[in-house]
Structure 1
Amino acid sequence: MTLKNVALLNPLVPHYREEFFKQLATHVDLDIYIYEGGSEYANFNVSDLQVKKIKSFGFFGNRFIFYNIIPLMAKKYDTLVLMLHFGHISSWFLLLTQIFHRKKVILWGQGISIKRYLQEQKKPNLLFRWMIGLSHGVWLYTEEEQKQWKKIFPTKSIVALNNTISGVEEVLATNYTEDERSALKEKHGIQQDICLIYCARFDNPYRRFDLLTQAIELLDAKKYGFIIVGEGTHKPNFQSYPNVYDYGKVYEKHLKDELFSMADLYYQPGWIGLSVVEAMAYGKPILTFRRSDQVLQCVEYSYIKDRQNGILLDNLDELKQTLSNMVQEDIQEMGEASKQFVKNKLLMRNMTENALSIL
């Protein structure tokens, strides 16, 4: 069987996408084109996967972007995977000229604005609707967005990738005994009975770092410890909190394994995204706040099933009450449910198979 020749466009290849692209490349003849890589990605761990760079320029704060389409027009490509981003002017051109270049165009993205999620949940964005209508098919991140767009385009090839991360199987296999966890807590100088871990970049205020520091201040410092992983321009100063253990950037798996193994729960107040996949694969229940106008959440928020693999909170008082009522058996049960969800839905081979199903 002849391999499909696919050109895939992304701003860059972060480390958590590397395995997905490698698996795709075993089934199709894949060329990855990138058009970014500047300072806005300073807190990404960027993959060293072989890519082709193309020129681009943006305006209005990069809300609109032109990129060089000439490399994508090469005769060898029969399929283009472009971003589902209505600000990509070049993508509109490629969608509108399919009758001439005769390449299959698949769009890849969320299909909904995180900042306008509650509104677009009721009334999908018109520009997304036009883009999807012009495409041959769509890769969406989660089943929730797939259901929304399938109602509008029931016959179009629209799949949910079930967005996940590289190395998720290795994370699932990580397992420490209670004795090993106790030894690690002693090694790292952590004295609190219950540990909450936060692991995400501090580059986006929508993650609600105010609710992170308020939780630290609200909870008993002798009972609750906070493990912090991440850097960024909006990072609070945690030095004054005796129960905060700040590790900054961590990309070494053995250290991350230790930090997550010591933690009992994962706490990220807002803008929950792919970090939830890693936390669930480590077997951690998720604590976060319900999506609202004040607390924005990414599409991976739909992976959290309230009172099953995590708890969705309304306010900090509920956080305090929830933790005070929680026993170790509850934490273990929700943690196992987190792992099981990842095993059932979020393995990398599943994401690859979902993508290939419409290639």
Structure 2
Amino acid sequence: MRLLGLLIGVFLSCSTLAQPAQNLILVTLDGVRWQEIFNGADSTLLFDPVFSRDTASARKQFWASNPVERRKRLTPFLWNTVGQQGQLYGNRQLGSRLNVSNPHWFSYPGYNEILSGYADDRIKSNDKIDNPNVTVLEFLNQQPGFTGKVAVFSSWDVIEAAVNEKRSGIFASSANETIPLCTAPDSLLSDLTTLYPREFGDGVRADFLTYFTARQYVKQNQPRVLFLSFDETDDLAHAGRYLDHLRMVQSIDNYLSDLWKLVQTMPQYAGKTALLITTDHGRGHTPKARWKDHGTKTADSYQLWMAAMGPGVAATGEQKNGPVLFQNQLAATMAQLLGFTFKSDHPVGAPIETINRAR
């Protein structure tokens, strides 16, 4: 009887892990390095006034004597919630490796690879050209119960091309597009989107506006799949503004904490939603000024990180060792979390096997 009880317990445990999520939130932070995610602030940049205009403020806000404390200061939600309830990949110091498989190491090829599961060499620039590949979002939008329930909110306007809004029929709000006016908050968001200074040009919406516009949409429409794509982290890095870059990473972490608290109050989402967070590419690191750059001329900017939690994600925390994983595996992983097998007329990377398996 004791053996039977043990076997039943193991079966129930495996069954629980295998239960798919009913909703999915995908979040991307453009051009955020794994080094900051796993080690926190880089002292060589944080204490250099060339990159951090107020080093005293930078030290007070982000510095601690050990990397575990530093990373919690930078992204408390990621480490105190996702790190405890889910998984994190990409700490190369522990042998966990996640790489792009496209040969370019910059944004649009990375977003295509995340979304389509395919490193397509036809996408080799950041030009706003409609994606010829069917993405996992388009695939999900075609599944029963998901049609019209997939939404995209992005700060960078090229994302609406990456999801091929025209062909897929997915609702996509990018850059400085306003949303339909239904409520007073919608009107305020529309005014802010129109009037707020566009620091990085007309093709980029401020990340806080992207977040609050998406938040309002979630409250009103309750999409089953939400893609939330932030951009200013990359723009600030290219500008060499390390302290501002860290503050934006921390702000986005706060947005995700707020969003997660919100969805846990909504019956549509509470206990039924998987969250996956990643980036499109890495950045340079040696010499330190290479942090501003990425692409094939910048060593190691193919290196990525990823975090996930929710139904279907075993709570095994920071991952160690294991095989090299690739960006082209994320699309099939997202589909699998929702109980689907992502198939397309192009090759698709296999799901990450360790997502729902205890370590």
Fold shared, TM-score > 0.5 on shorter chain: no
Larger relative contact order (CA 8 Å, sep ≥ 6): 2
Q: Which has the higher strand share?
A: 1
TM-score norm. by structure 1 comes to 0.28
More helix by share: 2
